[in-house]
Each structure stands twice: as structure tokens, then as C-alpha cells.
Structure 1
Amino acid sequence: MRKSAVFHFPSSFREYVRVSKSLNRKEEQYVKERQAVVEKCLKDNGIKYKQEHVPVIAVLGSGGGERAMVGLLGSLAQMAEEKLLDSITYLCGVSGSTWCMASLYEDPKWSVNVAADKKKIVDRLSNGSFSKSDMLKWLSVAVEDENYSLTDFWAATVVYNIIKEIDRHHLSEQEARDSTNPYPIYTAIDKGLKQDNQTAPCWFEISPHEAGYSHVGAYVDTSLFGSQFENGKPKTPPKEEDMLYLQGALCASFLEIVRKTIIALYNWTWGTKFNFLYKYPVEHIPAALLSDEKRDLIDAGILLNSPYVAALRSERKVDLILSFDFSSDDPFLTVKKAADYCKEAGRPFPSLVIEPGEEKNPKDFYVFKDNTKAPIVVHFPLFNTVNCGEKIEEWRKRYKTFQGPYSKEMIEDLLLVSSRNVKNNKQKILNEIQAACAR
């Protein structure tokens, strides 16, 4: 009889699954250290604040493919130029904005080097190449995984073709970094829970320290995310796909890639991952999360095209949200859906006042706030009457979500438009930071 393999995990993983609504203690420590960076920024900008209440500011980047990637890059670079970037505690992304985040966080000091990093990213997007051989090598590793899905194929073809890079880094590698940069949070949703209309519990977030269901309050260490679990314990070692790729340990034929992709397409399978809550002995978690060995995680933009849920988590105590919206249609749809989510989840959110006709012709700066405990929300529609004049629709048509990679000219134009939303409103942003401090 063949013996089962025994894997030895680091002693630090005594409790593999964390069931709690509280923040991860390492995130808490990071935020505490980040506070010193924020305080210096406030002082440099003449913002008055109470020592016992340094405001927590979160920047949100919406989805929108390459438009969102370039738009967020332009916005963050301009925030750095205006000496506002260090006021941010959290940087949250969904879909296309996460492409920008992933590129920036390759540099442990990107907040300091943002101008140089921006130049590198733009050069890569404009002049980088798409290698079919590298794509097939990456897919040959991915296809050997029993959880191979259309997400792998999409990443290796569409995303790689746009960002011109196969990123071999792992998010957990950022765990030991200092607080030079804002704390990054990436968001997704659980496909099954969404289909069951459990729109609050379906939200899933991933940070350098842990991954899990924020509304449910169940997490696993990020380095273990992807391992096979049962009864709260991993059955397989941490899955390091990129190491397998570098070592060339696995290989698959082109026909095998085609075969498994066709199967995934037929079953419409996306984002399949082993479920760390499989057979976990706890009661308050949705039954499906305990009974299924695998779960499908998909683009959160399908439900809400901006990572509001991560910033609105009450434990993070966010005072001010700067929402950069790169959506293709209604520029207020994300903030409207965020309000709906808060109503369902029982969380405070400011009242929305949007004048008739502004969906088609938005301004460049909106503030939503009231006297509740809800954070102040500042909303920046990408294309607006200030930076596009009467040609908003022309800009929207030029930068569609689903189209080929942008030319260098298109990238430069989009960077300029997105940067103006920050540059033209610096004083207004400072005013809202001051308002957040006064709460």
C-alpha cells in the first residue's frame, strides 16, 4: 500500500484558518507604522489633526481593463507630484486597477520612485513584446494543475498581451516589507455565493498577509492560499506555481492545453481554487463554503466595479475614500452599488446627491458626506466636462474596455486626462482631508 505524502509546514502556522472579523495583526502593525508617514504628509500640507486621530484614507481603483490600469497609474503619479500620496493608508483595486497595482508593487519603494516606475511601466506597455513561446511555457505549467480554468487562459493570453509581462512574483513576498507604500488589497467575489444571491458574503479579499471572505470573517495566510484543505488543515504544501515555472519541472503539450481549455470553456469554469474552509468545523459560515472542496473566484467588477467593500470594512476605520472611477458607462454606478451594498450589509454610507444629466456629463469632483458615521466619499469620474469638455463620448469610444493594447500616444493622452483629475482638485482634496481630521 502506497503511503500518503507528509508535508511539514512552518511552525508559525499553528492555526491555519483564522475565523474572526478582526484585522490580521500584521496588517494592524503595518497600518500603525504607516501612520508616521501619513502624519508627516499632513504636516507638510498644513493639515491640522489630533494626535489621537490620524485619518485613515483609502484610494479605490475601479475596473476597466487597460483604461483602468493606465488611469490609476496617472492618478497615483499625480498624487505623488502634488505631495498627496503619503496621506494614503490603503490602496484597493479590482480588475484592471490591480494590473497597475501589481506592476507598482514589484518595487518595494514605488511610492518614492513613482515617477521612474511610471516611465518603466509606460515603456513596457508601449514597446514591450508578446512572446508566444513564453505564453505556452506558462500555460504548460498551469494546465498541469487540476484547478486549471479559463482564468489561467485569460491571464496568459489577454492580460499578458496588454501588460507585456509574465509576473513571477508572489503577493506573500510583500509580507515583510516596511510601510513605505500604502497597504494593498485586491478584491474578487465567490461565483457560487453570488449565484445564490449572497451578495455580501461573496466578497473575497487578498492582501500580502491573508486571503479570505471579509464579510464572513474567515481567512487563511496568503502563502497558503491555493493549498488543498480539509478540516481546517492543509493537505498539500503552499502552491508556488511560479517556482515550478522557473524550474521547468512540469511540461504539457499544446494539444493538452487546447483540450483542457475547451473543457473549461464548455463548463465555463473560472478562477477555481481549493477551498480552505472545506469541512471546517464552524457554524456561522455559509454551508456551501464548508461542503465544497473547491470554489470559483471571479472578477469582482461583475458585481461592483470598485473595491468599496474592502474600504468599508468597519475594522479598518476608514475616514475618507478617494474613488477613482474608470468605468465605461454610468460614472456613478459604482458608488450607487456601494450604497446598495451598505444598505444590505447594515453599514453606514453617505447620501448620494447626483443632479439630473450628470450621468452623461459628469464633473471631475464629487463629495458625498453627511452627519452619519459613514466615511467621506470623494468620487472622480475619469472622463468629465472639465478634462474632456464636450467630447466625453468621443473619449469613451476611443478607450473601450475590450479592444487591443493601447498605442503609446493613447497611453500618454490617458495619463494626462487622469492626472488632471488630481491636479485640478488638489485643494479640494486637502479640504476633505481636513474635514476627515475634524470628525
Structure 2
Amino acid sequence: MATKDEVPCVRQSHELSEGERKATHKRREKVLLCLEKLGIRCEQNKVPNIVVLGSGGGLRAMIAMLGTLVELKKQNFLDAVTYLCGVSGSTWCMSLLYENQKWSEKLMSLEEELFESLSNSSWHIEKAEESLEEAAQDELYSLTDFWAAFFVYQVVQQFDENELADHKEASETGINPYPIYAAVDNEKLSEKGGNFPGTWFEFTPHEAGYTALGAFVSTRHFGSEFEEGKLKEKKKKHICYMQGLWGSAPGNKEETIKYIRDSIARLLHLRGSFLSFAFERSPETFMTYQSILLLLDLQLCAVSGSDPKEVFEKLMSVLSDEGQSESMKLCTAIRDSWAKKTREERMASCAELGKQIEKEFGVYLEKGRIPEEELPPSQAVVLCSVWNFLKMVYKTVLCVLSWKWGTIHNFLYKCSNIKPSYLVENETISLVDAGLAINSAYPLVLRAQRQTDLIISFDFSDGDPFETIKKTASYCQENHIPFPNIEDQKMDGNNPSDCYIFRGDNSCPTVMHFPLFNNVNCSGKVEDYRTRFATWHMSFPGEAIKDLLKKAQLNVSNNRVKIQNEIMRLVLSSRTRKSQK
């Protein structure tokens, strides 16, 4: 029987979900016991809401988040935490931990298990391909599907086909902090930027939706097709897909396209003999694939600024087989005007050509173009398999050309009484990595209903370790959200200290900010560590993983007294603070 948080309908309210309210209320019992062990006396109705934030940063963030949580447990602080909130790589760590219903009690053994998993490859390309072919059957297939099956699966070394809603038991008993995962609406981010509250989208085991707009749906039904607030068709989004959605921005566009191109080349190589069989029976299909893959190479030239001459020659040679097609004419025009165009205009031209090729030659991807009934049954099965594979590759390339990420059904489509009205107009929405807005999900934990008292922020970002808190200060100022003044403290991004404390008046939470690499845990080697653990890495050697875990742990152990003092200060002043909520 479905719980109230699983009912397939839209909830419009700024209040927390019933599931979250019950879970965090239960968690207070654990927090109160933890405070007593720390020697901090606290009344039951004055228990503070402490949040741990983990930023994005790819595999580096995933490992550092694990090390941070382990040390928080060792120092007896983890059980004082009400919420655990992550972006990108931190969400990879979180989603793996919440598979275990008592993970916070088993962190040491789970750390060993994850270390072994990350040190020894258990990724299987066959599994990735199978998942992609299944995903490509959906009309809303996007690069997020590809990213989840290839990049994220390779990085985390697990392909979790459960759903986020399956983590309810690990979130409701009070044993673990309550988890919040972040994403942003790509269209609103592009249109209005990260300071627009409607950009932010949150996920918990109970609900998913627009934080500041108060529009939610059961997590169990996230991605499903809705109309007028009612479920039309259930669609399952497994955790591996969610990890791809949350962590879809580990590198720049050139690196990402190159990775996708190399991955497709690897798949085509593995399918070599089967592809030859299909192409022999349909030369038109072979031509279509040649053109679309060359167009992907052309897009890479547009992004990287490399010379496209050779790619144009090959592409026009393929298209000329079709005579004076519109694709050939358009390709010629793009080639002749290439030097005069900006990077963005070149990319747009590639996308336009991709649409034209799809319009003219996409018909060759239909099964009916090859008479399977004339084949022996065994060959027909092979051909069907190859066709599904080719469709997936074709759709992936088209997604690259249009830069299509995180496209899902809009659960608010045609929903009545939803404001602002733009939320109900489109059948789909596009969700992407929240790191593209603010690389730590402050807007989610600053939601007034969560009554956050202390934010312990661990910044695993690449580059300026203060960018997240600076962007948050700007976000809060623009949206009239209470936040501490950060301007009084010197923040040297090139040589940061290991702990910064920002306090305000009783209307806002205190923020403790911990840059991952700093002049305490890697004195004189901050830049060396940033280079060594760059975001784009898909794996690290075992010794490097241990080193990174240690650096993250030092940020907690070296500041144990500061953390305890802030919690103590918070509890002592809680009467004043709680009375104003």
C-alpha cells in the first residue's frame, strides 16, 4: 500500500513533506543523545538543526565526502547532524551510503568496502550498453542517460537499479541524517541564473520538486508522465540515472564531447562484425552513420577551435553520395562561413545540420528498411539487436548536437493553480548538475521550513574554495534570505586556512566553511593537490585514495574543538533563536 508521500499526485505547499517531518522528528532523539555524550546539555524542544553540506567535485568530492563523514563519526559529531545535503560528486557518496539502512553505524566497514570498490574495477561495458539501449527506447532519452551508464557507472563502480524512494527506511528511523540531493532547472538557469529561486530543484527519499516554489511530487513518481496533476504513465528512474543527473558537470564541454565520442568509438569497435552485417544489407544506413559521427567530430572542432578541414572533406564526401541533398547544400554553406562564425554559432550550425540529416536520412534507422522476414531467425535476432544499438548511438549523437541533458516529463504540466504559470506550460523540463549554479546546495538547506541553525560546509570544489559561499551570499542578498556577513574575513583562495566561521544575528544560521586543500593539511602544496586530484579524473590509485581520505579527515579532527564550541554556543543561545522562528 502506498504511503501518503507516494500518492501519485502533485503537492503544492511550502511545508515539508509528512515523511521528512516524521523522519527529522525521530532524528532529534539521536541528536539529543549525541549532545549529551559531547557534554552539551540541551532541552528536548531546543535541539538544534545542524546541516552538513558537501559540494560537487567529481570523484574527488565523492571520496572526500566519505572521509569527512568517517571522521565526523570518529569525533562523535555525525549523530548531531539532522540533514546531509550534497551536490554532484558528494551525492554519489551519499546515494551509495543510504543503500545501507544503518550506514552511520557501519561507516568504518563501509569505508573499507568503498575503498576496495574504487580501487578495483567492477564496471562492465556490456551492462552499460544494455542500459543505454533500453533508455534509448524512451522519447526523452538524453545525455544524462549516457552519462549515467558510462561515466558515473565507471567512476562509482556500481550500477544501482533501485530507486531513491527505496532509501526511505535508511532515512526514517532516526539512525542516519536526513538526505537532500540537489539539481537545477537548466532552462531557468540559462534564462535567469543561479540567483533565481525557481532554478533550484531538490530530491529527498520522499519528494522531489521546486524548493522555493513549493511544488512537489512523490519521489517514487519522479520522471513519470503527469497531466493536470494526475499520473498518466509511471516511469522508473533508477539511482544510477539520478547519479548521472546530479553529477553531470565534471568537466568542460570539450572534455565531455571527447569522452562521449571516444566511448561511442569503443562501442562501435566492440560491435564491429555485427555492424558490418547490418551495413551490408543497408548501405544507406552506413552512410547515415558515417555522416552523423563525422558531424560529432565537427561539433568537437567547433568547441575546441581545431581545424575542421579534414572533417568537412570526409563529411561532404559521404553526403555527396546522395547527390544535391539539402544536407549537402547546408554543409557547404556552413563550411564556407565557418571562419566568420563565433564558437557558439559554429555549434548551432552543427546542430542545424544534424536536424537536416535526421530529417532526410533518419528513415534508414527504421527496422522496416531491412526485410528481416527474409533472414533466418538467428540472423533476424542479431539484426534486431544491432538495430537497437544503432538507434541508441544515433540518438546520443543528436543529443550531443542539441546539448540535451536531463529531459524528463514535467509533473506540473497543465496543473491548475500553480504559480508561476510557466511551470505548467511545457510537457518536459530539463534538470542538470546544481554545481552549474552554486556548487554547494545552500538554497535547499536555507529553506525556511528546515529551520537550519548551523551549516557545516565542506567545500571540495575545483579552483576558488570560497566561490560557493560568495555565490550564496549574493543569492541570499538578492532574495532577502538571512545569511551571515562574509565580507569581514579575509579569504585567500590560493592559500586558504582549514576552517572559517561566519556568524550573524539570531535570524540566520552560523556557517562553518572547510576548504578541502588548505595551508594546514597540505601546507605549501595546495596547488599540487588540486592538480593531482583534478575533477575530470575517473579513478585514482589506491594510495592516492587513502591520501585524499586523510586530507578530508584532518579538516574535521584538526577543528574538533571549534566544531564542538559552535554547537555549544548554538545550544546556549537556542532560546533566543528558536523563539524567533
TM range, smaller chain: over 0.9
Specify the SS of the correspondent of 1:401.
coil
Identify the range of structure 1 (344-353 vs 84-93) with the bigger mean alpha-carbon deviation: 344-353
- Identify which of 171, 175, 183 aligns with 2:178: 183
Specify the SS of the correspondent of 2:104.
coil
> Match for 1:211: what amino acid?
A
The 8 Å contact of residues 87 and 435 in structure 2, kept in 1 or not, is answered as yes
- Identify which of 311, 317, 323 aligns with 2:445: 311
> How many Å apart are 1:355 and its aligned residue?
4.7
Specify the SS of the correspondent of 1:158.
helix
- Identify which of 213, 222, 239 aligns with 1:225: 222
Specify the SS of the correspondent of 2:165.
helix
Cα distance in 2 between the residues matched to 1:356 and 1:237 = 51
- Identify which of 150, 158, 167 aligns with 1:165: 158
Cα distance in 2 between the residues matched to 1:35 and 1:124 = 33
Name the residue aligned to 1:45: 38
The 8 Å contact of residues 348 and 372 in structure 1, kept in 2 or not, is answered as no
Whether 1:119 and 2:112 are equivalent positions in the alignment is yes
Cα distance in 1 between the residues matched to 2:239 and 2:108 = 28
- Identify which of 369, 374, 390 aligns with 1:255: 390
- Identify which of 407, 410, 413 aligns with 1:278: 413
Name the residue aligned to 1:3: none
- Identify which of 459, 462, 486 aligns with 1:325: 459
> Match for 1:158: what amino acid?
F
Specify the SS of the correspondent of 1:273.
strand
Name the residue aligned to 1:214: 211
Say what the alpha-carbon RMSD is for the aligned residues: 1.9
Cα distance in 2 between the residues matched to 1:142 and 1:238 = 11
Name the residue aligned to 1:93: 86
Cα distance in 2 between the residues matched to 1:297 and 1:79 = 31
> Match for 1:194: what amino acid?
L
Residues 155, 436 of structure 1: alpha-carbon distance in 2 compared, 3 angstrom cutoff? same
Name the residue aligned to 2:523: 389
Matches within 5 A, 1:399-418: 399-418=533-552
Identify the range of structure 1 (91-100 vs 253-262) with the bigger mean alpha-carbon deviation: 253-262
Cα distance in 2 between the residues matched to 1:404 and 1:15 = 37
Name the residue aligned to 1:201: 198
The 8 Å contact of residues 202 and 210 in structure 2, kept in 1 or not, is answered as yes
> How many Å apart are 1:438 and its aligned residue?
2.0
> How many Å apart are 1:146 and its aligned residue?
1.3
Name the residue aligned to 1:432: 566
Runs (5+) with no aligned partner, structure 2? 241-383, 574-581
Specify the SS of the correspondent of 2:543.
helix
Cα distance in 1 between the residues matched to 2:400 and 2:488 = 41
Residues 214, 242 of structure 1: alpha-carbon distance in 2 compared, 3 angstrom cutoff? closer
> Match for 1:406: what amino acid?
F
Cα distance in 2 between the residues matched to 1:71 and 1:257 = 35
> How many Å apart are 1:85 and its aligned residue?
0.7
> How many Å apart are 1:15 and its aligned residue?
7.0
> How many Å apart are 1:204 and its aligned residue?
0.2
Specify the SS of the correspondent of 1:144.
coil
The 8 Å contact of residues 483 and 508 in structure 2, kept in 1 or not, is answered as yes
Specify the SS of the correspondent of 1:304.
coil
Whether 1:296 and 2:289 are equivalent positions in the alignment is no
The 8 Å contact of residues 7 and 218 in structure 2, kept in 1 or not, is answered as no
> How many Å apart are 1:397 and its aligned residue?
0.6
Name the residue aligned to 1:234: 231
Specify the SS of the correspondent of 1:43.
helix
Cα distance in 2 between the residues matched to 1:23 and 1:357 = 35
Specify the SS of the correspondent of 1:409.
helix
> Match for 1:190: what amino acid?
D
> How many Å apart are 1:286 and its aligned residue?
2.5
Structure having the higher Rg: 2
Identify the range of structure 1 (379-388 vs 12-21) with the bigger mean alpha-carbon deviation: 12-21
Cα distance in 1 between the residues matched to 2:441 and 2:460 = 12
> How many Å apart are 1:240 and its aligned residue?
5.5
The 8 Å contact of residues 49 and 434 in structure 1, kept in 2 or not, is answered as no
> How many Å apart are 1:14 and its aligned residue?
6.0
Residues 354, 414 of structure 1: alpha-carbon distance in 2 compared, 3 angstrom cutoff? farther
The 8 Å contact of residues 364 and 380 in structure 1, kept in 2 or not, is answered as yes
Measured against aligned partners, the alpha-carbon deviations of 1:114-135 in whole angstroms (never above 9, x if no partner) come to: 0001111111000133211111
Cα distance in 2 between the residues matched to 1:362 and 1:163 = 29
Superposition TM-score, scaled by structure 2 size: 0.71
Name the residue aligned to 1:4: none
Cα distance in 1 between the residues matched to 2:538 and 2:25 = 42
Measured against aligned partners, the alpha-carbon deviations of 1:256-282 in whole angstroms (never above 9, x if no partner) come to: 111110111111100011001101111
Measured against aligned partners, the alpha-carbon deviations of 1:65-111 in whole angstroms (never above 9, x if no partner) come to: 00100000000001111111100000000101001001111111000
| Equivalent residues, number | 424
> Match for 2:517: what amino acid?
F
The 8 Å contact of residues 325 and 382 in structure 1, kept in 2 or not, is answered as yes
Name the residue aligned to 2:28: 35
> How many Å apart are 1:11 and its aligned residue?
8.8
Cα distance in 2 between the residues matched to 1:60 and 1:179 = 19
Provide the identity percentage. Answer: 43
The 8 Å contact of residues 142 and 241 in structure 1, kept in 2 or not, is answered as no
The 8 Å contact of residues 223 and 238 in structure 1, kept in 2 or not, is answered as no
